[in-house]
A and B are shown apart, each in its own frame.
Chain A
């Protein structure tokens, strides 16, 4: 019997070492896969600059966005031990984070499951089990193309996603 388990987080080992200043653009088409371990490692330390530039509205137009966003895909399961995801922003913009079900589309202006900003955290309790686009961008009132640094830290695991499984 051979089992092939392919995780979306192919670079999980690399990610565990560090998840900062990603070399590739984290976009709707190629979002980052963020799978922190029990210690919450890795933290994302990156920028909303230089990634997705097509997101100008979110949550069925509940808010506008400045067309500069970092997009990650996260897998929320009951097994995930995180309770909170804490964000910090930086100069140049006002960070806002939106969570949209993957099935609804990344840049479809679809309804958001939850969102957060300021000192508030994104809570596991507000994210039913699903795959989500985690869109980190600027505020409704930020000028177009405003962007800047951010960190995202989970206080527990966000499991990897099983994408393929076969038994032969």
Chain B
């Protein structure tokens, strides 16, 4: 089954109505009520200090992109959410992220940029996956995948995070929910162009994540910053674009 589950691309949102226009007009906001594609948005403590907005100048030759920024506190959040119609045990996702405006990282800097909320809360966790931008050597940025799993402290992550490029990066993941070894995550970071699925950048195996049921929603933006991230990167905007999710087929580009 190669069902394309849902395309929530802000690029496509823009292209649908404004392709080829030199005067493309972006939606007033990211939610469906505002002309966007997302079910809802959240800004904590408030929309002024933690804005999540749609602006012109997409990351993939598209008309528009989503930008998020956080107030300089760890409780800040600026995200959009799409609630899926069903619980999804096989879930692929892809998005573009632009870290251009994030200044050099400290070693403990980290912020969550994508989450896959779960149908069922288990072991105190209501999500199946977190994707964070963490520190690399010399102030660089890396992406770290943190999956919920049925053993130990109930989170499982890669041994080393994956390097990000300065600027725009394409991040794709394939999350499978199942008991024992049937649960797994494969991720693709800045994979080469093409429709054929390449070797994964990495895999987290044996997640034993059946207790979480399936993916109930997608949450994109900035949330759960570490203290040093909040202290250093508050008000720095991060761009997102071209979110896509499917059940089975590799997304690519």
A residues within 8 Å of B by Cβ? 57, 59-64, 94-98, 108-110, 112, 114-118, 120, 123, 126, 139-141
Contacts and interface: CB of A to CB of B under 8 A. Distances in A.
Interface in B149-172: 152-153, 155-157, 159-161
Interface of B: 74, 106-110, 132, 134-137, 142, 144, 146, 152-153, 155-157, 159-161, 226-228, 231-232
A95 B106 CA distance: 10
List 7 tightest A-B contacts by C-beta distance, closest first.
Answer: A109-B153, A139-B107, A117-B107, A118-B106, A61-B157, A117-B108, A61-B155
A109 B146 CA distance: 12
B25 to A, nearest CB: 39
A67 to B, nearest CB: 11
A141 B227 contact: no
B126 to A, nearest CB: 13
Given A95-B107, A120-B228, A141-B135, A60 B161 contact: no
A62 B146 contact: yes
A115 B228 contact: yes
Dominant secondary structure of chain A at its interface with chain B: loop
B155 A98 contact: no
Contact of A98 (B108, B142, B161): B108
A117 B155 contact: no
Given A95-B107, A98-B108, A140 B227 contact: no
11 contacts: A60-B153, A61-B153, A61-B156, A62-B132, A62-B144, A63-B110, A97-B108, A118-B107, A120-B106, A139-B108, A141-B161
B228 A116 contact: yes
B106 A57 contact: no
Given A108-B153, A117-B228, A141-B137, A64 B160 contact: yes
A115 B159 CA distance: 20
Given A63-B134, A96-B108, A109-B152, A116 B227 contact: yes
